[in-house]
Structure 1
C-alpha cells in the first residue's frame, strides 16, 4: 500500500509533489494568527490572573481530539495571547531576547527537516554546517588552531561540560587517573572549583551533578560592580592549597546575570596558568561583545581560556535554545567519547558530533546562526551591542535625574539596577521596604503593564532592567518609569 493512502498520512509532511495540502493549510493559518497576535499586542502580558490562566489550561480535555485548525485557533487564543511578549518595549526583565526573523525562519527548516545531530547519516549537511559555524566561532574568539567546540542547549549545559572537562583534565594531569573509566579518584572530595559570589548558579549545580558536591565550590568576593577581586582570588587559591585541598578550575564571568559585570579575564586566566588550574569563562551574556569593534577589548584574555560558554539565545538574538561550548585544546573532548557501534562506527571517515557532546539527539541549531550571519552579519550585531550599552548608560542617567529612584551602580553592560528612593520607605523597615519592591514587580507583571526583574545587592532589593532589544529608545523608558511610579504610589499609600 502506498504510504499516502495511510489513514494517518495527513498528519505528516510527505515527500513528493502535491502531497502536503494539510501542511500548507496549517502553516498558513498559524502564520496568520501569529501576525494578528503581534499586530494587536499592546502589553507585555495579557493581565489574565495566574490562577485564571492555570484553570483555563488545566480545563483542556486531552481526550477530545479536534481538527488541527481548531487546535491552532485554541492555541492562539489560550496560549499565545497569554504569553510573555518579549518583543514589547516594556518586557525588560531577564536575559530573554526578541529573536531575529532569520532565526525564526531557520526554525521552520529545523522543525520540518528534524535532523538529529549525533551521527552524519542522520544529519549530513547539518553536521558540516555546525562544524563550519564552530570553526568561525573559535576563529572569532582567537582560540587557536587546536580549538574546537560543540553546540549546546545553552549556558547550563555549556558550563557543566566545561567543568566536566576541567575535572577530568585535572585528574589525568594530577595522577593519570581516568574518571571516565574508574570514577572519581580517592582525592575527589578535595577538589575545589573557584568562582565569584556573582557567578551563575550553574557552577554549584554542575559541581553537584559531577559528584563533587555544591560545597566544592568556593566563592570569591566581588566589588560594588560585581567583578571578582583578583587579589582575593590569589589568596583563595593559596589558602586552599595550604589546607591540602585541590583547586582544579576557576570560573570567570563575562557578563554576570545581576550586574552585567565582566571580570578581569586576562588577570584570572594568567593566575590559572601560574597555579596550573583550568580556566573556564562563562560568556553566556557578554561573550557576544567579541563582535563589537568598540567593546571587544573588554574580553581581553578570553582567547587564552581553556573553555568558554557562549549563548546565542541571548545577545546573538537566536530563538531558544541555542548555545555552544568552545575549548582551546580539542583533545580534551576525548573524555566524552564513548563507542557505540550504531553511531560512531570504527573506520568511518565521516564526522559524528556525538563524539564531543553529552547529548546524543541534538537540534540543528547551527542553522539559525548561519542564516543570521548571512542575512544580518556579525558587524551589524556588534553595532546593536554598541547601541545597547550606550542606551543603558542613558537610562542610568535618567534614574539618577529622577527623584523617585536611586541607582545601584553604573551599568557595565546592559543591565540597570535601581530601587525606589528613600521617601517611599516612610516608616517601613528595611525588610518591609524590600517586600514593597517585590510586590511592585509582581503587580506590574500580573497587571500586564511591565515585565521587569528584581535582585538583591548587599541585602537591598533592587529592580532590574536588562536591555537586550536594540530597537528600544529612551522614550520607551519614560513611559515605563511613569508606570512604575504610578504603581509605587498606590502601594505606598496602602502600606502607610
Structure 2
C-alpha cells in the first residue's frame, strides 16, 4: 500500500488524522501544567532511543510514539501558567486550516502551483495593507518577523543604492540604519547579512521607557549625514519585545519625511492593534511608513508561521525579483509571487488567517488582543501594590516586567534571584516565565497572550515566583551559615 496521500489512501488518511486529532485533543484536555518538567538529560535519552534508521513501524505506531515522546513533553502555550515568550494559543479555525494546507501541500511561489491560493493570498495582503492604511499597498507572507524585517531593510538598501552614483561596495560601506536599544535583534542581524558596515546600526536615544525620541532621531540623522554616511532606513517599533511599548510613529514619520529616509515599522508584536476598536490609535502614523512587519502568529492568534511584509508602494518589491525560466518565464503574465518573496517554495500560510477572519472576524480578534492587554494592566497593578515585587515600567501591550524584592535584599541579591526563580519554575514545569535585562539589570518577564487567562491564574504564577524566591533565599542563607561554621 502506498504511504503517500493519494486517491487510493483516502481511508488511511481519515484513520490517521482521526487518531492524531484524538490524541492531541486528549493532551489539551488533560494537560495540568505548561511543561512536563522532565530534565534535558531524560529528554535526550528518550530522543536518542528512537531508531530513525530502522524499518518503519507504520503510521499508527509512529503517531502513538509521537504522543508519548513529543506531546507528553511539549510546551503548552494554551496553559494559563505559560507566560514566558511571545507565543499564543491558536484560533481553532486556523488549526483546521493548517491541516488543509498541509494535506494539499500547495506552494504559493508561482500561480501554476497554487492557482486560487495565490489569488487568496493576494486578496488577504490587500486587506492587511488596508488595515495599515496603505490604500494601494502590496506585500507577501513570510516565515516570521525576522525575515520580514530583513526583507524590508533589503528593499530599503536597494532603494538607497539606486539614489547613489557610486560603486555598490562603497555605497554599502556608508549606509546606516537608525533604531533604539529596544529594537528587535533582527535589525542588527539584517545589517550583517546585508553587507553593511559593523557600525551601521546607529542607536537612537529613547525616553527612558524604550520609546524612540524623535528629536534624538533628527539629530542622529543630521550627524550621520554630516559625516558623509548615507541614512538608509529608520526602524520604529510597534511593540517592543521586552517592554511592550510603541514608538511615536507619527512624529518619527515627520523626521523621516524631512530627511527623505525610508521608514520601516516593526509591528510584529503590536499588529493586533490594527483590528482593535479601542487601541488602534496607538499605531497612528503607521500609514506613513514605507514598509511594515506584521506577525499574525503573535497577536492574531495564528499557528506558526504566519507573518507578512507590507509595503506602501508595490513597485518597491521589484527590487528582489529574479528571473528563472522554469518559474517565471518572461512571456508569462500570471501573478507569480516568487517575484516578491525572498523564498521560492512557500507554504500557503495565508489560508490560516483567511479561515480565522471568515470564522470569527477581525473585530473579535481585536477584542482578544485587547483582553490580554487589559489583563497585563491589571497584573501590573497587582505587582506594583505588592511590597515583595518591584514593577519595571508600564507596558502598552501585554508584557509585565518585575523583580522579586524580599525584605532586606540588596539590588545584587534581587538580581541573582531572577535567573534562579525562572530556573526553578522551568524545571518543575509548573509555570514558565521569561528573563530579560533592562537598563543593565535582569528582571522577570510575563508575556500574556492567552485571552482565556484570568487575573487569578496570573496571581497563582506570582505566588509560585514568591515561593521559588523564598526557597532560593533559604538555601543561600544555609550555605552562608555552613561557610561561616567552616
Q: Same fold (TM over 0.5)?
A: yes
Counterpart residue number, 1:210: 194
Structure 2 Cα separation of the partners of residues 437 and 355 of structure 1: 47
What is the Cα deviation at residue 24 of structure 1? 1.6
Q: Which residue of 2 aligns with 1:3?
A: none
- Is residue 2:457 matched to residue 1:476? yes
Q: Which runs of 4+ in 1 moved over 4 A?
A: none
Question: Which of residues 61, 74, 78 in structure 2 aligns to 1:87?
Answer: 78
Match of 1:295 among 275, 279, 289: 279
The alpha carbon displacement at 1:298 in A equals 1.0
Structure 2 CA distance for partners of 1:214 and 1:323, relative to 1, 3 Å = farther
Matches within 5 A, 1:89-488: 89-145=80-136, 147-175=137-165, 184-423=168-407, 425=409, 430=412, 432-488=413-469
- What do the CA deviations read for 1:33-72 (whole angstroms, capped 9, x no partner)? 1111111100100011111111211221112321221111
C-alpha distance in 2, partners of 1:71/1:15? 22
The 8 Å contact of residues 264 and 289 in structure 2, kept in 1 or not, is answered as yes
Q: Which of 39, 53, 56 is matched with 2:29 structurally?
A: 39
Match of 2:475 in 1: 494
Asked if the contact 1:133/1:366 (under 8 Å) is kept, the reply is yes
Q: Retained in 1: the 8 A contact 2:175–2:197?
A: no
The alpha-carbon deviation at position 384 of structure 1 amounts to: 1.4
Q: 1:391 to 1:363 in 2, by over 3 A?
A: same
Work out which of the residue numbers 42, 48, 53 in structure 2 matches 1:63.
53
Report if aligned partners of 1:227, 1:263 keep a CA contact under 8 Å in 2: yes
| 2:16 is aligned with 1:14 | no
- Structure 1: runs of 5 or more not aligned: 1-6
**Per-residue CA distance 1:368-405 (angstroms, 9 max, x = gap):** 01000000100111111222221111100100122221
TM-score (norm 2): 0.95
Contact 1:205/1:214 (8 A) holds in 2: no
What SS class does the counterpart of residue 236 from structure 2 fall into?
Answer: strand
Offset from partner CA, 1:408-445 (integer Å, 9 cap, x none): 1122111110101152625xx62x54232101101101
Judge conservation of contact 2:164–2:171 (CA < 8 Å) in 1: no
**Deviation of the 1:277 alpha carbon:** 0.6
TM-score, reference length from structure 1: 0.94
More divergent stretch after superposition (260-269 vs 397-406): 397-406
Counterpart CA distance in 1 for 2:349 and 2:82 is 25
Superposed CA offset, 1:250-287 (max 9, x none): 00000000101100101111111100110000000012
For each residue in 1:261-316, what CA deviation from the matched residue of structure 2 results, as whole angstroms up to 9, or x when unmatched? 10010111111110011000000001220101211111111001000000010000
For residue 351 of structure 1, give the secondary structure of its aligned residue in structure 2. Answer: coil
Aligned length: 476
**1:159-213 residue CA offsets vs partner (Å, 9 max, x unmatched):** 00100000000111233x7xxxx8x342321110010110000001001111114
Partner of residue 4, structure 1: none
Q: Quick check: 1:255–1:284 contact (8 Å CA) kept in 2?
A: yes
Tell me how far 1:337 sits from its aligned partner: 0.9
CA distance in 1, matches of 2:154, 2:66: 40
Q: Report the aligned-residue RMSD.
A: 1.4
Q: Deviation per CA, 1:108-163, whole angstroms, max 9, x where unpaired?
A: 11100101111111111110000010010111111122x11100011011000100
Q: Any idea what SS the aligned residue of 2:333 has?
A: coil
SS at match of 1:465: strand
Once residues 404 and 335 of structure 2 are traced to their aligned partners in structure 1, the CA distance between those partners, rounded to angstroms, is 56
Tell me what 2:17 maps to: 27
